[in-house]
Amino acid sequence: MTSDMNYSLSFGAVLSSFLSLAVGCTEPPSEQPSGGGGFGGDFPSGVVSSNVTTGLGPGSGGGEPLTLFTSGTRLRAHILDAGGEAQAFEGWFDSELGFDCTSTEVAGESNRCMPPPLEEVVYLDAACAMPAADSAQFGATEAPPFTVERTSGEQNCDAYRAYAVGEEQIVASIFVKDPSGGCTEIVEERAVHALAPASLDVFAELAIEDEGGALVFARTERGPDGAFRIVSGLIKSIGEPCVGVGSPFDAGRFCAPSRRIRDPRTFAEGSCAEPAIALDACQITQLHAITDVTRDVCGRELATVYQPGAIVDDVFLADENSTCNATPSGRGRLLGAPMDTGVLPYLDQLYLHGSSIDLAVDVGFGKAISSAGTFTTPGGYRCFVVETHDGLRCLPPLLPRPTTFSDAACTVPLTVAPPSDCYPPPAVGTYASDGLLSSVSQVGSAYAGPVYEGGDGTPCTLVAESEAGWSTVVNEASVTTFPELVRRVE
């Protein structure tokens, strides 16, 4: 199928093509590269169902079914369910304590499944001896019975302090510790929860295990209650956790160090000109590599792995308008030279079949290295889970909502023309006032002509007499046309 044909199809045909891939009736376009990045033979290689014996599960004897995760008697798995075997792990629910929790490294002992650490601990007395937590830190949910404060520093990496959370109370003022070690009063009515010291033993234990492959291990975690999941890969040569990045269709998929650039607008100078990554004291010295992952409009992952550069005392943040904050936000490291990703372990993908879409799981040297995976059509094309007015749906990549039009009344929308090699073609989403996706439209034919901006109560203004690089937006359809997923606790 040529790129010109992609954009001349009716929207119904595009949906039919996308969904026929989803039920395994259509092969990928012939011009897409086969193999590459650890794939072998005709695309897609190694596609099997998890209901056969694969021997890929950590600890398997070579003939046992693949197990990505298992709920325990206490820790229950949050699942994103596409039916059949396409069930992705999303997190743990502690059924004993009644809250969602995350496996967290704790210095000197097994991981613990804990709630997010408090952003700030305040105090109820002038000596700063009676700790409390602002109710706003727990959001709209009920405060958990226990919480934690991260106390890591230069000499105590991954250190935490546990608290029992008391009933909510309204106070006229709070106290905070200042940088000099004093205790400063803030006179302002607040809703707070008193905190009492507790043991980290109240949180569920998860032991980390690494099981071998040639270049990459499978890192797993197990609880005494029977809870189990595959966490990530582990690059054997440097002992660094890694996760699958990249596109199987392009340069291939490889296991990249899992230390990611959390905010690409982080810089090492007050002018916000030199990219950096913000890190805490422990991460600064333990860093082996920095992975920057972006996604193009076609939904393809583009990954660059950097060597860590020099340590800098101050990093600065730029907002979405590229305005540089003059106040430093902490320490960090510069991005060093890009690494040759050819030296990183390459990955295959195993496809677990669902009702209409599959779950693609990364496999490195005979070991599955993820319990989350990515949802795809059985042809291997990724779809993206989106919250809509009709539940969770797996959609093609979505272009930004149109703000540009081809007519002087600003009623006929345009969108930036996507690259001609996108397959399936991206779509254009329409969102309701509550921010949820309500419908999806096709990217139509190429457009070159007058371009207007406006609408939604703002004047419609001509911005270009004639301009290329645009596409029409046609054939709106309901999101219910696309595969549905369900989020549940096992």
Phi, psi of 281 (to 5 degrees): -60, -40
Which two structure tokens, joined as six digits, stand for 248?
Answer: 């199987």
Q: Does 25 have pLDDT greater than 70?
A: no
Q: Does 15 have pLDDT greater than 50?
A: no
pLDDT for 293 equals: 81
Tell me if the bond preceding 424 is cis, omega within 30° of 0: yes
Q: What is the pLDDT of residues 278-300, one digit of tens each?
A: 776 666 666 778 888 888 888 88
> Band of the pLDDT at 65, cuts 50, 70, 90?
low
Shortest CA distance to 243 belongs to which of 231, 251, 252? 231
Q: Does 320 have pLDDT greater than 50?
A: yes
> Band of the pLDDT at 180, cuts 50, 70, 90?
confident
Q: Does 117 have pLDDT greater than 90?
A: yes
**Cα–Cα distance for residue pair 490/71, rounded to 1 Å:** 7
Average pLDDT over residues 96-112: 91
pLDDT for 70 equals: 95
Q: What is the pLDDT of residues 143-160, one digit of tens each?
A: 999 999 988 766 667 889
Q: What is the DSSP letter of 269?
A: S
Q: What is the pLDDT of residues 255-286, one digit of tens each?
A: 888 766 655 567 766 677 777 777 766 666 66
Q: Does 29 have pLDDT greater than 50?
A: no
Q: Of the ranges 73-77, 243-247, 442-446, which is most confident?
A: 73-77
Question: Do 76 and 489 meet the contact criterion of CB atoms below 8 Å apart?
Answer: yes
CB atoms within 10 A of CB 436: 14
Of 185-199, 234-248, 378-392, 446-460, least confident by mean pLDDT is 234-248
Which of the two residues, 312 and 407, has the higher pLDDT score? 407
**Cα–Cα distance for residue pair 224/205, rounded to 1 Å:** 7
pTM (two decimals): 0.80
